[in-house]
Structure 1
């Protein structure tokens, strides 16, 4: 039987899993996260979910979480929207339970690694992955290797100061909620139907995202930035204003070799978690 790699995406509302076999992601399913239970209950829920996959010949387990991780020790330092999951020795718990290698990282880092290993980022040695959804997540691949930084915090541009707040306030779904009291998906439908206010909202959004990308370019000058998350599906609505803002970047020779791409993977988080198992020994951590 072909060895399988199990990938888990653990979030505040759901835990999603899938196995990579012969290069294909299979057996994708999910369960609800018991977010308000105690740590022991949450750990047991994760373990039982993993057990349900063991009819596959699982060689290793990769896990992405929306929080900070001590990558070397496999300790979850904090998990968004799950109050009890603070400083949890998740790797030790799972290794003792299943006697299989376990690798854990931030979910945005997993996204970047997933698009580099399995998606549109395959051809690039240096790229940044940005997820645009309820928040803004970022991951960095340098010279073909994931750069996690201290406690997997590299690429947290969401918290970098911008205007009167931070980039997440202006570049995530929060922008549409805070300034237009609408969800991005609803706003996109309005814009596609010709609503001038919605069209203007996406033009403004594109400008802010362009400023974030300029910020990244000044720091890293990657070959490509890959956009993920639900808002990427509305890219045609903010593409023009984004590139207009990007044209003010001070180093045109960088822009000549730079691309913005949209992730085509439906299960990038699981792909990225799986990729941790294959490349984790070469990850650069600081």
Structure 2
């Protein structure tokens, strides 16, 4: 059976998996050693791939938290990894392993993973949004990732909003900056019907509604699929989100839009592997 390696390259850990069909058959995790960066992190990445590679491995997909020249496989300005301002990663790994290598932004990988392995397979046009420390996005059009010039489309979190940008209100910053806590702690308390926590989630839902409005006005997708740690709390802010979407100028667009929660396990690994399709 055809096997693909998917690599989720993060600032803290490198998570890799060997995928056979739609099944994760082996997983490897290593410290990125981001503070050392450069050749050290590259060596860790190669080691993880080497442990996963078999005679049946046909390709390698890698998701990175940065801007990527997809054609040349050049990675620019990787967040939180020292001295990774311009890495010709595709060339380095093709020379090392002799396999096709596909590289993209991690949010694009999430969207592609949903299209191949997740609920996104039911839609030709949708937006995948990751809600975590940041807010990343990937756009699927006609079943494929949107072909853009600089790998920058879908970054809705960077759009101006109130006194900052959407990411400050829709990512983990919202909870830490305004309430000195985490989304996880708020969700736990809200699940126990804590009045203050429920109020925080209601406020958060208002900001997510603003994000949804911007997505619909820009892309008008069939669906928006939320992933990431905060997305697990969608049932706690869904009602507030829809309440604040009621003022949208084109109500039929909201009525037809499906807003879903990702059901993928290992989304980073699967998303990177999906680049190989």
Q: Which of the five TM-score ranges fits, normalised by the shorter chain?
A: over 0.9
* Offset of residue 271 of structure 1: 1.2
1:16-165 → structure 2 map (5 Å cutoff)? 16-55=15-54, 57-165=56-164
Q: 1:148 to 1:34 in 2, by over 3 A?
A: farther
- CA, structure 1 residues 38+16, in 2 after alignment: closer, same or farther (shift >3 Å)? closer
Question: What SS is found at the alignment partner of 1:61?
Answer: strand
What is the alpha-carbon distance in structure 2 between the residues aligned to residue 38 and residue 199 of structure 1? 41
What are structure 2's unaligned runs of at least 5 residues? none
Asked if the contact 1:140/1:148 (under 8 Å) is kept, the reply is: no
Alignment partners' CA distance in 2, 1:249 and 1:34: 46
Q: Which residue of 1 aligns with 2:268?
A: 269
Q: Distance in 1 between matches of 2:112 and 2:210?
A: 24
Q: Which moved more, 1:215-224 or 1:13-22?
A: 13-22
| Cα deviation, residue 54, structure 1 | 1.9
- Hey, what's the Cα distance between the residues in 1 that align with 2:237 and 2:136? 19
Secondary structure at the counterpart of residue 198 of structure 1: helix
Are the counterparts in 2 of residues 36 and 84 from structure 1 also a CA contact under 8 Å? no
Deviation track 1:29-51 (CA, whole Å, cap 9, x = no partner) reads 21111101141111111111111
Confirm or deny: 8 A CA contact 2:28 2:52 kept in the other structure.
no
Contact 2:30–2:44, Cα closer than 8 Å, also in 1: no
> After the TM superposition, which segments of 4 or more aligned residues of structure 1 sit over 3 Å from their partners?
none
In structure 2, what is the Cα distance between the partners aligned to 1:86 and 1:201? 38
Residues 131 and 170 in structure 2, CA contact (< 8 A), matched pair in contact too: yes
Segment of structure 1 superposing worse, 30-39 or 210-219:
30-39
* Contact 1:12-1:82 within 8 A present in 2 as well: yes
Q: Name the CA shift for 1:38/1:11 in 2 (closer, same or farther; >3 Å).
A: closer
In structure 1, what is the Cα distance between the partners aligned to 2:55 and 2:234? 38
Q: CA distance change for structure 1 residues 266 and 56 in 2, over 3 Å: closer, same or farther?
A: farther
Is this contact kept in 1: 2:27–2:52, CA < 8 A? no
CA distance in 1, matches of 2:22, 2:12: 28
User: 1:284 matched to which residue of 2?
Assistant: none
- Secondary structure of the 2:84 match is coil
Computed over aligned residues only, the root mean square deviation of the Cα atoms, in angstroms, reads 1.1
Distance 1:108 1:238 in 2: 22
Counterpart Cα distance in 2 of 1:258 and 1:250? 14
Task: Count matched residues.
Answer: 277
1:69 and 1:78 in contact (8 A); partners too: no
> 1:74-102: per-residue Cα shift (whole Å, max 9, x none)?
00111111121111000000001111100
Cα deviation for residue 269 of structure 1 reads 1.5
**Is residue 28–residue 48 contact of structure 2 (8 Å, CA) maintained in 1?**
no
Q: What are the residue-to-residue correspondences of 1:196-215 with 2, within 5 Å?
A: 196-215=195-214
**Where do 5+ consecutive residues of structure 1 fail to align?**
279-286
- Number of the residue aligned with 1:251: 250
* Deviation, structure 1 residue 158: 1.2
TM-score (normalizing by structure 1): 0.94
**Preserved contact between residue 4 and residue 56 of structure 1 (Cα < 8 Å):** no
Structure 1 equivalent of residue 233 of structure 2: 234
C-alpha separation in 1, matches of 2:82 and 2:178: 29
